[in-house]
Structure 1
């Protein structure tokens, strides 16, 4: 059965270079896209309350707020600053009615080679914001990133690692499954089943290009790379996930240069035909 555009959510990173948040909201309406996942800088530009008002008026589901995290730091002051910023992010997510606050947890502090210590800082940081997140009704979605980002962006690199944190932290914490970061994992199907419906908080789609010319900014449109997106979608749906499919494409050399209306038209067509 072909997927409908209402089952698609736009992560605003996909059009970030050409559109502000107001334009992205209007673009979703024009293309029949059912959801949006804004980045905090775009929300700040428009204003939090105005962003929430416009999203509600457009009838869009907020599949997530990007992003919190980045907890590891070389000193206590840096770690507290990260916690304070994440507490603000929780408040923003609550105001927007976001389904979750997505965390890119952070890598090694400057000068460190101790990845175990970095992971402990991540757990401590999430624990520090969790009471506020629970009180606000904002689930925390840990997004494991591909191991190539372990040093600088995320020292949590598999769904199983993220779920171990969920087990330790308790209710209110789950995972964001991004096909770009997880497609390679030989334990992927088992890990997704382990997560289950309650802990799969978001599902992100794009594609892995071969060759990849930039480790951060060369993601592909679904269908242009090597990821078997329908297979992974089947995994998350069998696990009980019923949410929207969030397209998130970082593409400095291609998609960010194009007319965003063209990008959204291709996103909806690929979502229907290849996802």
Structure 2
């Protein structure tokens, strides 16, 4: 298993602190987020991770394509082109996309998904020219209204398969997909098409916190069978990175280096 830690898991660490923690623990991959990277400086961040010998496994995030207003859609496309350019500079081949929710007052999920497809048609070739793939991340259905109209792996694949696999694929995220009774078939379908561009881990814990965005549980603390997911993506032919991406207020309140080591230990315990 090639283990990667997503920057948001230990967002209390600065980028230099994260890089040092990874090198001290022998972690070879990091998933980065645009906002802290841009604050640090994209060129400086690229140099920092490169000199540390780290692989940037993903850049989060692009997307938010579902606006009906023409100016808003144009702005979103411009921002996603910048995300692709940043990914290329950082040396990663994958930008994770969160599609966007329903515009205010809109109830047409099908049309919203078609606007995602329209955006992919423009951005896929742009990314391919720069060696960067787009990875559609389906989010749990509770986010469909305000964050992501793509809720299942099948829905993500229905979009991705309109385009070449080297341009558009999917993210298999345990937190968002563990509940789906078609997930095994979806993983097999994604693997057969070479479209699993990222595999991300987070656990589902209950009761959900008041702020559901920050309720992703530490590996092993919840309901998700991590070993099963790892076996399924492996059977589907995935040989890429296993990236842990946790949004958790309790973890963020603790010492980041301790959380980093704990996360590595949990992954080794449950998947190693």
TM-score of Structure 1 vs Structure 2, range by shorter chain: over 0.9
Q: Distance in 2 between matches of 1:271 and 1:170?
A: 32
Q: What secondary structure is seen at the aligned counterpart in 2 of 1:118?
A: helix
Name 1:131's counterpart in structure 2.
125
Q: What secondary structure is seen at the aligned counterpart in 1 of 2:269?
A: helix
Pair 1:249 & 2:246 matched: yes
Contact 1:73–1:110 (Cα < 8 Å) also in 2: no
Name 2:268's counterpart in structure 1.
272
Q: Distance in 2 between matches of 1:143 and 1:264?
A: 24
Q: Distance in 2 between matches of 1:27 and 1:104?
A: 28
Q: What secondary structure is seen at the aligned counterpart in 2 of 1:216?
A: helix
Structure with the higher strand share, 1 or 2: 2
Name 1:260's counterpart in structure 2.
256
- Aligned pair partner of 1:144 in 138, 147, 157: 138
Name 2:5's counterpart in structure 1.
10
TM-score by length of 1: 0.95
Name 2:188's counterpart in structure 1.
193
Could you list the runs of 5+ residues in structure 2 that have no partner in the other structure? none
- Aligned pair partner of 2:237 in 211, 236, 240: 240
Quote how far apart the aligned CAs of 1:130 are. Answer: 1.3
- Aligned pair partner of 1:75 in 65, 69, 83: 69
Q: What secondary structure is seen at the aligned counterpart in 1 of 2:114?
A: helix
Could you list the runs of 5+ residues in structure 1 that have no partner in the other structure? none
Q: Distance in 1 between matches of 2:89 and 2:31?
A: 13
Q: Distance in 2 between matches of 1:80 and 1:161?
A: 24
RMSD of aligned residue pairs (Cα, Å): 1.1
Moved over 4 A (4+): none
Quote how far apart the aligned CAs of 1:99 are. Answer: 2.8
Q: Distance in 2 between matches of 1:59 and 1:65?
A: 17
